[in-house]
Amino acid sequence: IFDNAQEGAVTLAYEIAELIRSKQRKGEMVVLGLATGSSPISVYRELVRLHREEGLSFRNVITFNLDEYYPMQPDELQSYVYFMHEHLFDHIDILPQNIHIPDGTLPIDKVKDYCQAYEKQIEECGGLDLQLLGIGRTGHIGFNEPGSAITSTTRLVKLDPLTITDAAKDFIKEEYVPLRALTMGVGTIMKARKIMLMAWGEGKAKILHKTVEGRVSDEVPASFLQLHPRVAVVVDQWAAAELT
Ligand code: F6R
């Protein structure tokens, strides 16, 4: 629990940087699972600073993003492709071929095979070394809304009405928010060797309490993380307000 989000974000960025550097020393690639939304922005800002001012290189980094709206064109302002380039990829030396973000442009009949291939690509890279997560007020991680199974894999899902309401600020009007998204599954996330979940602000306090101290259940998909052996939950004092 940190006093404020900035301190938490700097710590998360430092952990990520240390992982990248330790793999570099061994001449190995590192596979990162990345999130979008407001929560990771300050983490990415700090990673960009470490690259610019402290020589942190991302040439040994492979990334897989958790999710993307469906349908979504990559050049739309609300796309997660746009987001990732704006906040991170355009400012670091990651190789473009090492970036993976679910493709929101696919025709519906190609989605199933594509999702299976996304899973396979993660496995072929050796699996996720570290998954960075935010949490939605529904308890979603990625876009695994209530009802998502612990074994779920990458797939097309329907967004929860509360998630659509929360996304409305990015889409001008609620009716412009896509109803669906492609997301890694809970099972995909649970296979990561290490997970870091972040939550900032009082708006996350209730769901964070349920996630960390509540019953493990698909009603709060993030609660499945209680069953993972290596999870760090990094929060500010406001998100932690309802922890006992
Ligand atoms: C985004 C994602 C979502 C967000 C969650 C919190 O890639 O997977 O689970 O992490 O909706 O969003 P913010 O950070 O905007 O509160």
H or E element that contains 111? helix 111-124
One-letter amino acid for residue 47 of the chain: L
Q: 223 in ligand 1 pocket by Cβ < 6 Å?
A: no
In a domain? residue 29? yes
Q: What is the CATH number of the domain that holds 58?
A: 3.40.50.1360
The alpha carbon of 50 and the centre of ligand 1 are apart by a number of angstroms equal to 23
Residue 165 CB less than 6 A away from ligand 1: no
End-to-end CA distance of the chain: 13
Residue 163, in any domain of the structure: no
User: Does some domain include residue 159?
Assistant: no
Query: Is 95 part of any domain?
Result: yes
Q: Please give the residue range of the domain that contains residue 66.
A: 5-130+190-199+223-235
Total domains, the chain: 1
Q: Is 242 part of a structural domain of the chain? A: no
Residue nearest to atom 2 of ligand 1 (CA): 142
- For residue 140 and ligand 1, the question of a CB distance below 6 A is answered with yes
Distance CA 66, CA 81 (A): 11
* pLDDT tens per residue across all 244 residues of the chain: 999 999 999 999 999 999 999 999 999 999 999 999 999 999 999 999 999 999 999 999 999 999 999 999 999 999 999 999 999 999 999 999 999 999 999 999 999 999 999 999 999 999 999 999 999 999 999 999 999 999 999 999 999 999 999 999 999 999 999 999 999 999 999 999 999 999 999 999 999 999 999 999 999 999 999 999 999 999 999 999 999 9
Per DSSP, the three-state class of 46 is helix
* Residue 154 located in a structural domain: no
Sign of the dihedral through C-alpha 170, 167, 41, 124: negative
Q: Is residue 120 part of a domain?
A: yes
Domain assignment present for residue 227? The answer is yes
Q: Cα(117)–Cα(98) distance, rounded to whole angstroms?
A: 15
